[in-house]
Amino acid sequence: MIRTLPEIEATVLRAGRGSGVPVAQAEDIARAARWLAAAGQMRGLDEVARCLALPRGSARPTRWVASYVFAPGDPALMLPAAIDLALTGADVRLRGMPRALTGALIACAPALEGRAVRAAWSGRDATLSLGPRGREPHLSDRSAQVDLPVWAALTALAAQTYVPASDASRDGAGAGDDS
């Protein structure tokens, strides 16, 4: 199915919130999802849907002695936290995190004093470091073809933020009629 980039971003934002992700992280993931669609990396949207469907966990790294190591747990909370830490110059390692979503979150993260987070992948693991921002792929402004099951999963999560209609909710809608 065809969906516009704003529709993808808005739906992922609601899906994130519906799955219990705090609003800032949900916004970051929604922007990353839009970036993935704009970059033509549609399989990344599948990663997004699967991450959001996981039970919510912690943002904390699995261990932090010489370096911060984030092993599979709750990527929706861990990846923004890991990127934040990498921006401080900390030694950050990722184990088994979704690669496309990681790349998109990094691409959408800020560069501080000209230095951006970069990921060096080795198999399913990555080391985050600071350096010049990598070359960005061509980003389209066109609508994207989204797999139906992915969209269904996202909209089902998004629906968890909706309050069923009632007379009270209709009264709260505003824009009524008058004579």
Partner 1 sequence: MPDGPPGSERLRAPERVMCLENLGRMFPTRLSFLRVLTRRLHAAAARVDRSVWSVDAEGYGHAVYVVEAGRETYSLVAVTQALADEDRSDRVIATSWDAAFVLYDGVPDTAETRRIVASVPLQEAGRFTERDLVLSRANKSVRFFSHVVERLRNGQQPDPELLVQTGYLMRTTAVYGNGKFGIAAWERIADRPLLAGSFMAEMLAVWLIRGFTHDLAEHLGGAAIDANLKRHLGVGNATGLGMAPFLVSHPMLIHRWFSAREEALERACALPDLEGNTLEEARDLARRVAAHLTEWTVGDPAAMAEIEVLKDAWHDLSETHFEGGSASVDRRHLLAAAPGATEELVAAFLIELAGGEVDGLSAAFAADEAAKLDPTMSCAALLALAQRDWDWAVGMDWETPEAAAVFWYVSEEKLEPRLGSRVSDAGAELETPLDVARRVAALVADLPESDLSLAEFLLAHPQHRDAARRVQTAAALPFSEIRDNLIGGHVRPTDLLRAKLAMFGASKFDPKSDLWTRITLVQGAPLAGEIQSARALDWWLPSMEAR
Residues at the contact surface with partner 1, assessed by CB under 8 A: 2-7, 14, 17, 22-25, 27, 31, 58-61, 77, 80-81, 84-85, 87-90, 108-110, 112, 141-143, 159-166, 168-170, 172-178
Query: Smallest distance from the beta carbon of 161 to partner 1, in angstroms?
Result: 5
Query: Smallest distance from the beta carbon of 73 to partner 1, in angstroms?
Result: 12
Please count the other Cβ atoms lying within 10 Å of the Cβ belonging to residue 126: 23
Q: Do the Cβ atoms of 33 and 90 come closer than 8 Å?
A: no
Between residues 34 and 153, which has the closer beta carbon with respect to partner 1? 34
Between residues 17 and 93, which has the closer beta carbon with respect to partner 1? 17
Query: Residue 70's beta-bridge partner residues?
Result: 94
How far is residue 66's CA from residue 110's CA, in Å, rounded to a whole number? 25
**Assigned token pair, 50:** 């699967």
Query: Smallest distance from the beta carbon of 43 to partner 1, in angstroms?
Result: 21
Between residues 57 and 134, which has the closer beta carbon with respect to partner 1? 57
Between residues 123 and 173, which has the closer beta carbon with respect to partner 1? 173
Between residues 31 and 122, which has the closer beta carbon with respect to partner 1? 31
Query: Smallest distance from the beta carbon of 22 to partner 1, in angstroms?
Result: 5
Between residues 152 and 169, which has the closer beta carbon with respect to partner 1? 169
Query: Smallest distance from the beta carbon of 8 to partner 1, in angstroms?
Result: 9
Of 52, 96, 98, nearest to 76 (Cα)? Answer: 52
How far is residue 148's CA from residue 173's CA, in Å, rounded to a whole number? 31
Q: Do the Cβ atoms of 47 and 98 come closer than 8 Å?
A: yes
Name the one residue in this structure whose structure tokens are 């992700």: 21
Query: Smallest distance from the beta carbon of 172 to partner 1, in angstroms?
Result: 4
| 116-122 sheet: strands from edge to edge | 63-64, 68-70, 92-95, 125-131, 116-122
